[in-house]
Amino acid sequence: MTEQVHNEPVRGGRPGRELDLVLFGATGFVGVLTAEYLAEHAPAGTRWALAGRDLGKLERLRERLAALNPECARLPLLRADAGDRRALRELAARTRVVATTVGPYVHHGAELGAACAEEGTDYADLTGEPEFVDRMYVEHDARARETGARLVHACGFDSIPADLGAYFTVGLLPSGVPLRVDGFLRAGALASGGTVASALTALGRGPQTLAAARARRLHEPRLPGRRVRGPVGVPRFSRETGTWALPLPVLDPRIVTRSAAALERYGPDFRYRHYASVRHLPVALGLTAAVGATAALVQVPPARRWLMGLWEPGNGPDAERRARSWFTVRFVGEGGGRRVFTEMSGGDPGYGETAKMLAESALCLAHDALPDRAGQLTTAVAMGDALSARLQKAGIRFRVAAER
């Protein structure tokens, strides 16, 4: 990953814009949760708006938010469709930051990302789709650097816990030496139709994902004098966590290694591996078989449509189920003769905490003093300590479990 790196902090750029923040896709399941979080936690004076394609739904959501915070009765409502290039350019030109929940992003995200790159508007999304991220880099990173836009993908459970958890862990290790970090994820939660649709779409687009990755490699400069790797590990028993570790074929390790490539603090030789952490071997075997079978099925279009039809987008677990949900990512970091064990944890990963992460990312971009960087950036590179501090204040826990 390349970037413009300067040391001067920049606080809330794009002066003269009408709005600080627009939430696009506000009436979807995660969009509503994000809007509610903003209604209750956005600093006084934040100028924000709701956006989507259905004005009636936006009006009903505004009424719902006004019950939480009477100030929300005056929220502007912006009508725009994910495929309407002109409307999205107009939307992006009015605000300093756009946060979007509209996926699958490979189908519904490209025009908004392009609009933000052209207008110099900061952008945050919830994608977990490697193809989309790579395509956005190839098509819009250079323009975003020219306009000063920060395009920050994966600002939810994909991939903030992995990215900021690894960033936190690296900060506890010696500098200037080779570093190794492994992340082990455990979670208890249910998925919504939108998340399932995005995951199945990504699994079913293997050739397109590989082509996008190849195109990105042609555009990315090499790292002189440094090496960054994110190998897919092998299933194994982890003595560090006392669980079975199953490699996770998700976006998270790519995000972590892009942070490492951009920030010299990760050392001259950095490696990251990402695992699901499962206590019992039969469960581990069952999960492996289920993922393999699903990956095979989605390659057949009728089977993929059938699987996607089992979940209805726009719905998700109710408040009672979300309240019982949780996640933990444990990290083992080592280098320079030192070893640290850290942990990042929180509540409902896919919805409550994802909405919190997206909202705090957007507020961080809008209000905080941040490094002067532009282009496609990760959360660690764009916001780093500022976002970590926001999330800790919001109840997401970072802790050191042990040091040796």
pTM of the model: 0.91
Regarding whether 18 and 75 lie in a shared domain, the answer is yes
Same domain, 86 and 126: yes
Number of neighbours of residue 226 by Cβ within 10 angstroms: 14
> Band of the pLDDT at 303, cuts 50, 70, 90?
low
What total number of domains does the chain contain? 2
Least confident of 2-6, 163-167, 354-358: 2-6
Looking at the domain assignment, is residue 340 inside a domain?
yes
In angstroms, what CA-CA distances link 312 with 28, 108, 123, 305, 315? 12, 17, 27, 12, 6
Amino acid at 362: A
Lowest mean pLDDT among 75-89, 147-161, 307-321: 307-321
pLDDT value, residue 198 = 65
Calculate the CA 229 to chain-centre distance. Answer: 20
Are residues 341 and 242 located together in one domain of the fold? yes
Q: Residues 370, 340: one domain?
A: no
Residues 81 and 119 in one domain: yes
367 and 244 fall within a common domain: no
Tell whether 82 and 186 lie within a shared domain: no
Round to whole Å and give the CA distance between 158 and 156.
Answer: 5
* Residue 133 covered by a domain: yes
pLDDT of 289: 63
What number is the average pLDDT over the span 210-220? 94
Output the pLDDT for position 103: 87
* Whole-number percent of the chain with pLDDT over 90: 71
**Residue 283 in domain:** yes
Residues 260 and 398 in one domain: yes
121 DSSP assignment: -
The pLDDT of residue 355 is 96
- Domain for residue 3, yes or no? no
- Is pLDDT at 67 greater than 70 in this prediction? yes
Q: Is residue 386 predicted with pLDDT exceeding 70? A: yes
What is the per-residue pLDDT across 220-267, written as a single tens digit (0 to 9) for each? 988 889 999 999 888 899 998 899 999 988 899 999 999 999 999 999
Question: Which of 107, 299, 103 lies closest to 192 in space, CA to CA?
Answer: 103
Give the CATH number of the domain where residue 139 resides: 3.40.50.720
Neighbours of 170 (CB within 10 A): 26
Q: Are 20 and 38 contained in the same domain?
A: yes
Nearest to 377 by CA among 209, 216, 173, 149: 149
**Over 70: is that where the pLDDT of 368 sits?**
yes
Q: Which of 63-67, 304-308, 333-337 has the lowest mean pLDDT?
A: 304-308
> Is 227 found in the same domain as 197?
yes
At residue 2, does pLDDT exceed 50? no
The C-alpha atoms of residue 330 and residue 398 are separated, in whole angstroms, by: 10
Q: Judge if 337 and 188 occupy the same domain.
A: yes
Which residue type does 404 have? Answer: R
Confidence of residue 301 (pLDDT cuts 50, 70, 90): confident
- The answer to whether position 282 is within a domain reads yes
SS3 of 360, please? helix
**Residue 288 confidence (pLDDT) above 50:** yes
Average pLDDT value over all residues in the chain: 89
Nearest Cα to Cα of residue 33 among 70, 10, 65: 65
Q: CA-CA distances (angstroms) from residue 19 to 3, 64, 75?
A: 26, 21, 11
Which residues span the domain enclosing 144?
9-157+352-392
Residue 3's pLDDT is 35
Range with lowest mean pLDDT among 39-48, 315-324, 372-381: 315-324
Q: pLDDT-based confidence at 293, cuts 50/70/90? A: low
Confidence band for 282, pLDDT divided at 50, 70 and 90: low
Mean pLDDT of the 285-301 span:
65
Is pLDDT at 316 greater than 90 in this prediction?
Answer: no
Residue 1 has pLDDT above 60, yes or no: no
CB 149, CB 119: distance < 8 Å: yes
Residue 2, domain member (yes or no): no
